[in-house]
Amino acid sequence: MSSNTVLINTKQQIADKIKELKAVSGTHSPSIETVLKQLPQVKIEVDACFLSNPYATDLFLEHLNKDLIETNLLRRTLEFYPPQNHDVADSISTVTGIPAKNIFAGNGAIEAIQAVLHNFLAKKIVVIIPTFSSYYEFVGENAEVVFYKLKKSEDYKLNVEDYIEFVKNEKPDTIVLINPNNPNGGYILQSDVNRIITELNFVSNLIIDESFIHFAHESEAMEEVSCGSLIAANPNLIIVKSMSKDFGIAGLRAGYAIMNENRVAKLLKNGYLWNVSGLADYFFKLYANDYFRKEYDVVRKKYIVETATFLKDLQSIDGIKTYPSKANFALVEFLNETTSFDFTISLLADNGIYVRDCSDKIGLEGQFVRVASRTLLENKLITAAFRGKFQ
C-alpha cells in the first residue's frame, strides 16, 4: 500500500465521519469537541469554523485566572446558585446604559432567540436568507416563515428599499435583521437600520441581532455601534446580543436581549430562573468594569485591523471570490468545479484547517465556505493553504 493510498483512505474516512456527524448536528457544524473525539487521527491546527476574537478569549482568561483561579474563588462561582436574571441584567445595564428592566439575560443569545420566537411571534415571520438557521428552525408549527432572499447579483448585500417594500407587502408580525449578517458579513448602516425601523413600525416584533456588531464600525476611530438606544422610542424593537463572538467565550453561554420592559416581565414571570451560570455572571460583572472594557477595546480594534488585512488577502486569491464583510469572517465562493464539501475535507486532512461548509445554508447559489478570522499567525496559515489549493 503506497502512502498515497493511505492518505486517500484517510480523507475518505474523514469525509464519511464528517457526513455522519453532520447528519446529527442539523444545520450547525459539529462542534470541534465532537470532531476531535470522533476523528482522533485529525490534527486541527486552525478552527476557522469558529467565529470569535481569540485575543478577547486571552484577555478574559487572564482575568479569570487572576480573579477566580488564583484566589480560589472559582469554587464559590461553581458551588452556589447564581444570581437571578434581574441581578445579571444590572451588570449588562452598566455596560449598555439601557435600564435593567429592559434587559433579558440569556444562556447564550440562542436562549433569547428561542424565548422571543416562542413567546412573541404570532403568525408570520420574514427571515432574510442566507441566515443563521435558528431564526427559522425555532419557529413553531403555527407560524409561517417567509424568506426574503438576498441577491447574489448584489453580493448578498441587503437592498433596503426592496426589503422594506417586501415586508410591507407580506405584512408579517415579526422580522429579523442580523447586522452584520451571518454567513456573509453584510452590514446595514445605522442610518438604514433607522429607516427600516421607522418604515416598518407596524411590525410587532422587529428583531435586530447585533451578535457580530463589535466587529463592524462606521468611523475612523472604529467606535462600537448599536441601535440599543432606540428601544425607548420603539416598543416593538428587540435587540439580540451574543457574547460568544466578540469575547470568544461560546462555551460559557452568555448573551442577552434588550426589549420593552413588559416583554422582559412576561418572560421572567414564569420561567428563566437561574438561567445564567455562575461563570457567565462573573463575565458580565467583569464586563461592567471600566478597566476591563478599556482593555477589551484594544483587542477588539487590533482584531478588526487584522481581520481587514486577512479578508483583503483572501480577496487577492484567484479561483475564489471572497464576499465583502464587516464581520469577523467571510463567505468564500469557488469559481471552478470545486465543491465546498470536498474542499472542507481536503483542507482539514491536508492542512488541519476546519472551515464551515455552507452547502446546507439555504439562499446561497453556488459552492461556498465560511472562513473565520483567527490570530495573525493562523490567518496566514489559512491564506497560505487557500493559495496552495488554487495556485
Q: Which stretches of the chain bind its own copies, using CB under 8 A?
A: 24-26, 28, 31-34, 47, 50, 52, 54, 57, 60-61, 64, 69, 74-84, 86-87, 107-108, 110-111, 114, 117-118, 134, 137-140, 244, 248-253, 270-275, 277-281
- Alpha-carbon gap, residue 101 to 89, rounded angstroms: 8
CB of 39 to its own copies, least distance (A): 14
- Alpha-carbon gap, residue 281 to 336, rounded angstroms: 48
Nearer to its own copies, 221 or 273 (CB): 273
CB of 106 to its own copies, least distance (A): 10
- C-alpha 151: how far from its chain's center? 21
Nearest by Cα to 44 from 32, 56, 28: 32
Other CB atoms within a 10 A radius of the CB of residue 40 amount to 8
Q: Tell me the helices (H) and strands (E) count for the chain, helix number first.
A: 14, 13
Q: Which residues neighbour 75 within 8 Å (Cβ) at sequence distance 6 or greater?
A: none
Which three-class secondary structure string do you get for 278-337? HHHHHHHHHHCCHHHHHHHHHHHHHHHHHHHHHHHHHHCCCCEEECCCCCCEEEEEECCC
CB of 195 to its own copies, least distance (A): 32
Nearer to its own copies, 216 or 249 (CB): 249
What are the φ and ψ backbone dihedral angles of 73, each rounded to 5 degrees?
-80, -5
CB of 72 to its own copies, least distance (A): 9
Other CB atoms within a 10 A radius of the CB of residue 168 amount to 12
CB of 33 to its own copies, least distance (A): 6
Nearer to its own copies, 50 or 386 (CB): 50
**Residue pair 306/376 in contact by the 8 Å Cβ criterion:** yes
- Alpha-carbon gap, residue 157 to 222, rounded angstroms: 21
At 104, list the grid cell. 433579558
Tell the residue number behind the cell numbers 403555527, with chain if given. Answer: 142
Nearer to its own copies, 84 or 315 (CB): 84
Q: Which residues neighbour 336 within 8 Å (Cβ) at sequence distance 6 or greater?
A: 319
Nearer to its own copies, 70 or 218 (CB): 70
CB of 17 to its own copies, least distance (A): 15
**Residue pair 216/187 in contact by the 8 Å Cβ criterion:** yes
CB of 316 to its own copies, least distance (A): 30
Nearer to its own copies, 283 or 323 (CB): 283
CB of 380 to its own copies, least distance (A): 20
Nearer to its own copies, 77 or 94 (CB): 77
Nearer to its own copies, 106 or 130 (CB): 106
- Alpha-carbon gap, residue 119 to 270, rounded angstroms: 12
Nearer to its own copies, 252 or 320 (CB): 252
CB of 363 to its own copies, least distance (A): 19
Residue 322 forms beta bridges with which residues? 332
What are the φ and ψ backbone dihedral angles of 289, each rounded to 5 degrees?
-90, 135
Torsion sign across C-alpha atoms 148, 150, 153, 157: positive
Nearer to its own copies, 272 or 341 (CB): 272
Amino acid (1-letter code) at residue 231? I
CB of 278 to its own copies, least distance (A): 3
